[in-house]
Amino acid sequence: MKKVLRNLKKYTLESVLGPVFKLLEASFELMVPLVVLKIVDVGIPAGNNTYIFQMFLVLLLFAALGFGCTLVAQYFAAKAATGFARDLRQQLFAKIQSLSFAQIDRVGTTTLISRMTTDVDQLQNGVNLTLRLFLRSPFVVFGAMIMAFTIDVNLALIFAVVIPVLAVVVFGIMAITIPMHSRVRNNLDKVSRKARENLTGARVIRAFNLEDSEYAEFAYANQVLTKSNILVGRFTAAMNPLTYLIINCAIVLLIKKGAITVETGVITQGGLIALYNYMSQILVELIKLANLIVNITRSMACGRRIEVVLDLESAPSGSVNVSQETGTVEFQNVSMSYSGAEVLSNVSFKANRGETIGIIGGTGSGKSTLVSLIAGYYQASSGTIKIDGIDIDRWNKEELNRRVSTVMQEAKLFSGTIRDNLQYGGKGATDQELMKAVSVAQAIDVVESKGGLDGKILQGGKNLSGGQRSRLSIARSIAACPEILILDDSSAALDYITDYNLRCAISALNPKPTTFVVSQRTSAVANADKIIVLDEGRVVGIGTHLELLSTCDVYREIHDSQFSQEVSHG
């Protein structure tokens, strides 16, 4: 929890003043039974209405001062809690942005989202309540016991026995429920994950008529969450009844013994009433403390989950920002594994500045993994990758991202305007520069149909077709003016003519970026300067289109199967 609570350092003043004002308010509350004692023992027996009225004014003064202190305490506690939550979200978001794709895949998107939202919210509530009650409640409990000893030592011994018993109950339940709350949060992640999958894949689910089976799976995950909530709820629900039982038994004992001592004159009626009031204060505060403990246990579970993310090592970033070479990529015996399964094995090649490199192979052959290594999204298990003659691990991350731009298989656009999306790549680019990138990406018609660069794009580009999203994604990468451009099967949604015109426009760029074209179609890579053929993670051929047709069986099979299909369809 140290990394999480470190965010409270900026709010040290608020974190101190909040509890201090709460303790002041509690001090005024502890004085109330003594004033009542004076009214009962001094004012009422003497029939001194003036004295009673004066004591009444004192009670009003304590109430007003206590109310004022409470308002100030609530303000400082809320300021510290909300600021803490804001900074923690910022820290968590920055950490997630620094993680490699492999780490994000391992943790899971849904888990990261829930830790940034619901877990942080729970921590914010926990900090707020802790600043307000964590010192106040024990202060009132022990303060009431001390005040009781100033009234009557023998009767105050009841307080001395009851408070340790209550502490055992409260902290015992806390120790049991902390791990339970962690399991509840993990089960909540599973429910959120299932809901997210159903929302994003709603069309697929309905297309295959799988609503019932998906409902059953969600119902099972929801039932597991419900059972874990009920189990932890049974323990936490026992806290208040046990607290009430112990305190009420103490009150019965106090009244019984107190009545005898009043009769014998050992204690006054006002003293007994004050002791009763102090016992009632303890009851109220322990109920608050019990609820606070429940909240703290939840918050601690959330804090540990957040700390797991903060403890992840960020993707390595070197310090190199310049190089004598530009646009070169070299692989030397590079291998890559996912969860122990080898995806790429001993891949070696070199791409020179301005070359177009085609990458082709069957499904699952490792094409996307290879280009992801070039972009630095994943780290190779072994071997060396050099960008512009320098080991990729030595490159500064921001500089590497500036030199290498990738168009993913699935086009991702963000809500906002077309200009906003294009400037993700071309930061600070003028409208003229953006339109040039749009023209190269064959997306002029898309921009014009939306009313220009200020045209609105919905979340995920839902108001665009698949081909339109692909072209705008390509334009975004071209706007970055990269030295190395990666097209990871981004032309799959494009027709042959648009795909051809796109490749010609990229080849005509000056300076021309080193371009990696990942595709399933031989027609998309036929004009490449060099084609890399992958089969089950291994390079089985490198050469031009004509060379591979005569020397590489895998490439020839892919070409012949597509050519025969095109002829038959024609």
pLDDT digits (tens, 9 = 90+) for 424-460: 877 788 889 999 999 999 999 999 998 899 999 988 7
Instruction: Measure the CA dihedral 201/206/210/213, to 10°.
Output: 70
**Of 165, 290, 288, the residue nearest 236 (C-alpha):** 290
Q: Can you say whether the dihedral through the CA atoms of 469, 472, 478, 479 is positive or negative?
A: negative
pLDDT tens per residue across span 356-366: 999 998 888 88
Residue 157 has pLDDT above 60, yes or no: yes
In this prediction, residue 294 carries a pLDDT of 76
Which stretch of DSSP H or E encloses residue 350?
Answer: strand 341-351
Sorting pLDDT into bands at 50, 70 and 90, what band is 484? very high
Between 416 and 244, residue with greater pLDDT: 416
Q: Does position 159 have pLDDT exceeding 80, yes or no? A: no
How far is residue 390's CA from residue 436's CA, in Å, rounded to a whole number? Answer: 31
- What is residue 169's predicted lDDT score, i.e. its pLDDT? 81
Phi-psi region of 110 (alpha: psi -120 to 50; beta: other; left: phi over 0): alpha
**Average pLDDT of the segment spanning 498-516:** 90
The pLDDT tens digits of the residues spanning 162-180 come to 878 877 887 787 778 777 8
Q: pLDDT tier at 543 (50, 70, 90 boundaries)?
A: very high
Q: Give the global pTM.
A: 0.70
Residue 126 neighbours by CB distance under 10 Å: 22
Which domains does the chain possess? 2-310 (1.20.1560.10), 329-569 (3.40.50.300)
Beta bridge partners of 382: 335
The percentage of the chain sitting over the pLDDT mark of 90, rounded to a whole number, equals 28
- pLDDT band for position 564 (50/70/90)? low
Q: What is the mean pLDDT of residues 378-390?
A: 90
| 404-427 pLDDT per residue, tens | 998 888 888 888 899 998 988 777
pLDDT at 283 over 80: no
- DSSP classification of residue 454: T
Please give the Cα distance from 193 to 404 (Å, whole number). Answer: 32
Kind and range of the H or E run holding 457: strand 456-457
pLDDT in tens, 54-84: 888 998 998 999 899 999 999 999 999 999 9
CA pair distance 4, 2, nearest whole angstrom:
5
How many whole angstroms separate alpha carbon 260 and alpha carbon 255?
9
DSSP string, 500-519: HHHHHHHHT-SSPPEEEEEE
The string of pLDDT tens digits covering residues 111-156 is: 888 888 888 998 999 999 889 888 888 888 888 888 878 777 777 7
Order of all β-strands in the sheet with 530-535: 404-407, 484-488, 514-519, 356-361, 530-535, 538-543
In whole angstroms, give the CA distance from residue 77 to residue 67. Answer: 15
> What local confidence, expressed as pLDDT, does residue 258 receive?
77
For residues 188 and 221, the answer to whether their CB atoms sit within 8 Å is no
Flag the least confident range among 20-24, 48-52, 268-272, 365-369: 268-272
Buried b (16+ CB within 10 A) or exposed e, 38-72: bbbbebeeeeeeeebeebeebeeebeeebeebbeb
Highest-confidence segment of 196-200, 278-282, 339-343, 495-499: 495-499
How far apart CA 98 and CA 312 sit, in angstroms, is 10
In contact, 510 and 540? CB cutoff 8 Å: no
Is pLDDT at 569 greater than 50 in this prediction? no
Q: In sequence order, what DSSP letters do the residues of 385-433 get, joined into one string?
A: EEETTEEGGGB-HHHHHHHEEEE-SS----SEEHHHHHTTTSTT--HHH
Name the residue with higher pLDDT: 257 or 317. 257
Looking at residue 355, its pLDDT comes to 93
> What's the CA gap between 256 and 127, in Å, rounded?
41
* Continuous segment of H or E residues that includes residue 110: helix 109-116
Q: For residue 568, what pLDDT is reported?
A: 42
Residue 566 has pLDDT above 50, yes or no: no
Q: Beta-carbon neighbour count of residue 508 at 10 Å?
A: 9
- Cβ contact 175:164 at 8 Å: no
Q: How much is the average pLDDT of 374-392?
A: 90
Tell me the pLDDT of the chain averaged across its residues. 85
Q: What share of the chain is helix, strand, coil (3-state, %, to 5)?
A: 70, 10, 20
Report the pLDDT value the prediction gives residue 462, as an integer from 0 to 100: 84
